[in-house]
Amino acid sequence: MTEAKTDGVAALRLLRGVANELRGLAIETARLGESLAPDSKISEATEIISLLQYFDVFAQNLEAHASLIDRLSVRLETGAADMAALHDLIGGIPFFRIRERLRLNVDGSGSLKASEAVQDEHWG
In the chain, where are the structural domains located? 3-116
pLDDT for the residue numbered 97: 87
Q: Give the separation between CA 113 and CA 90, rounded to whole angstroms.
A: 16
pLDDT averaged over every residue in the chain: 76
Q: pLDDT confidence of 43, banded at 50, 70, 90?
A: low
Q: Residue 115: pLDDT above 80?
A: no
More confident residue, 74 or 114: 74
Q: Could you read off the pLDDT of 91-111 as tens digits, one per residue?
A: 888 888 888 888 888 888 765
Collect all residues with Cβ–Cβ distance below 8 Å to 17 and sequence separation of at least 6.
none
Burial, 105: exposed, middle or buried (Cβ in 10 Å; 0-12, 13-18, 19+)? Answer: middle
Q: For the chain, what percent of residues have pLDDT higher than 70?
A: 73
pLDDT for the residue numbered 7: 64
Q: Could you read off the pLDDT of 66-81 as tens digits, one per residue?
A: 888 888 888 888 888 8
